[in-house]
Structure 1
């Protein structure tokens, strides 16, 4: 998005210096990260997200080439019902304040928008996950430009006529109220606010035990733990998540100094059966000791 923003600034906003800097740095950083940094930290493997575009190729180069040589595959995705729904989700909360006259800021969001549309993962085309967040600033700039004009956009063409007000009075007195009302409607219709008193609170009954167990991880040694507890222990070189499809052997476990489990809420990509089995495996492991157990929170520490 940085390079695309530079392209937008350079060619559409005529801000040559800022655009050139963003375009150059964005392209340079993309090359450094994808061709040097990621392979260096992943034993020569490329970015993990490439698996979502295997129908276009196995590497970044292949994907770019096939995007040019196989326009039929791209067009099929661009004009699919799923893409239409995705674009509707992105624009519905602000649809009244968008005008094609000021669409240009969307150029900066094109790389992210394209990646989301072409991905095999549906999660990249909903509003629950983080994938669409980089698009939001450019949508807001689009809205600002439309509203600043004062005489374009759906709100001007439809609502102004409905209220039979002149342009100045309508903008001054009605537009702010309508924006607030529509924003509330959009939030109630699209936001997952119910999560705040459901799945976001599921693990509260184990929270005190989780805190105590985390406090017992006193060194920077490697940790194997759940997705919920990993962020609290991330200040170390080695930390991995428990995954029910990747059961560690006794030898694999030796690379960790700590194994922290939540048998009641095993976390993302795990389940209770797998967590219980792993806890049993560690219980009989000669190199690990169970040093903490409360509310189905287990902390195993490797003997030094």
Structure 2
């Protein structure tokens, strides 16, 4: 996979799947609206959302819908975020219980405006979920907290089953794709989580098709394993609009399969690698050790 020119390309057939609606999706949307909650599944129009809802998995997005960073791949609006909603953890836990979720994934916008980066809010969500839905497993997809180890410790001490933090791409592309992030800082966060001594999985994800090379991807795998990362998701980058970072390449399914095999050789406990894989894809099955890539 070489460094392709950034041109507008026609999507290949393997990236054309129908986005299904249905009674379950409408029920989820109505509940989220009534409780003033966001999910990445619905907000991002994720192609996997019906499959996830059917398996009783959903990804909630907390701390508002405005981000303090402006990554060029992301569709979340940058700007000045709204105040933290202290009642959000209670409403989220209520929604998770009403939906009968068995695995709850919680993510957020990046909140560099907050002293703890929102870590305390993540911990409050975890505690509410434990109270109202004790049978469910919990996964948190967290920002880098600007490298603050105390913020990370706040989340870890609340006891999620999975700590997830996405590296997104290879280090060479950070300055272009996510200039306010730092690759080494993200690796250090993953390593701290892996070394914390608690029985939880450490997870990360990346996108392909941004202009990375195969050698860079394999070096990234090695970095992640050295950091103690257990789970890995790999999906195709799809530009949300013409204003976002352009797609350099539509990566063929057989290349995703090759990367899955290479990652498994390196000892990842679970790898999901396919064009439509996203961070939360088959998250519950991965934790149970039963999912197929």
Q: TM-score, normalised by structure 1?
A: 0.23
Between structures 1 and 2, the one with greater strand share: 2
Between structures 1 and 2, the one with greater helix share: 1
* Larger relative contact order (CA 8 Å, sep ≥ 6): 2
Pick the structure with greater CA Rg: 1
